[in-house]
Chains A and B, each alone.
Chain A
Amino acid sequence: QKEVEQDPGPLSVPEGAIVSLNCTYSNSAFQYFMWYRQYSRKGPELLMYTYSSGNKEDGRFTAQVDKSSKYISLFIRDSQPSDSATYLCAMTLRDDKIIFGKGTRLHILP
């Protein structure tokens, strides 16, 4: 079983829809959970990070962590064509390397 599982997509949704992106993980010791966005041929940029179970909101983005189920989600409200990118979940132990999912390719259709 891989440490982090993420559906690669592609996921296509119409503009304005709510997008739900998900990852599961196997290592219950992970403490910090992040979402990165990566545009084609660019480096990943950090969108959100959290270290506790529950929800964290930042503008149109909400990160959700369920440690009991080892499941994390990113929700994007009022999706825009500019949100089209690959979204990578990532997690880490304290003082340790970051482990990434494979990324989900998202297309927002105008």
Chain B
Amino acid sequence: NAGVMQNPRHLVRRRGQEARLRCSPMKGHSHVYWYRQLPEEGLKFMVYLQKENIIDESGMPKERFSAEFPKEGPSILRIQQVVRGDSAAYFCASSPGQGRFTMNTEAFFGQGTRLTVV
């Protein structure tokens, strides 16, 4: 009964490199949310996806960031040409159902990927 799995747990990239963060939702969950957390800050919404579809990307920076959730395989958050300001913890959450967050639906979070840009 695995929960939301994120990998890697820690990722170090040099400025200008690409970072790829993976999220495997809980079994039976078809919706994925990505959040970014800076030190001493709350979770900032980035993107909400269902399989093969982006539902809401209003929190994604316009450049360098992209996300996908293919029919098969994990959701990927991709950051191109990383800069020091991208250093943060990136959390993924998944929920079941038809994209609905109701009282019977819980968003479960993974343990996060801590990205450090040097």
Interface string of B34-45 (1 = CB under 8 A from A): 010000111111
- The complex places the Cα of A88 from the Cα of B4 at a distance, in Å, of 19
A18 within 8 A of B: no
- The complex places the Cα of A9 from the Cα of B40 at a distance, in Å, of 10
> Residue of A at shortest CB range from B103?
A51
- The complex places the Cα of A84 from the Cα of B17 at a distance, in Å, of 37
In this complex, which of A4, A94, A100 has the most chain B Cβ atoms within 10 angstroms of its Cβ?
A100
- 7 closest pairs, A vs B, by CB? A102-B42, A43-B109, A100-B43, A100-B42, A43-B111, A97-B45, A44-B109
What residues of chain B have their CB less than 8 Å away from a CB belonging to chain A? 4, 33, 35, 40-45, 48, 56, 58-59, 91, 93, 99-103, 106-112, 114
Listed by A's residue number, 25 A-B pairs whose Cβ atoms lie within 8 Å are A32-B103, A41-B112, A41-B114, A42-B112, A43-B110, A44-B91, A46-B108, A88-B42, A88-B43, A90-B43, A92-B101, A94-B101, A95-B99, A95-B100, A96-B56, A97-B33, A97-B56, A97-B58, A98-B45, A98-B107, A99-B45, A100-B43, A101-B42, A102-B40, A102-B42
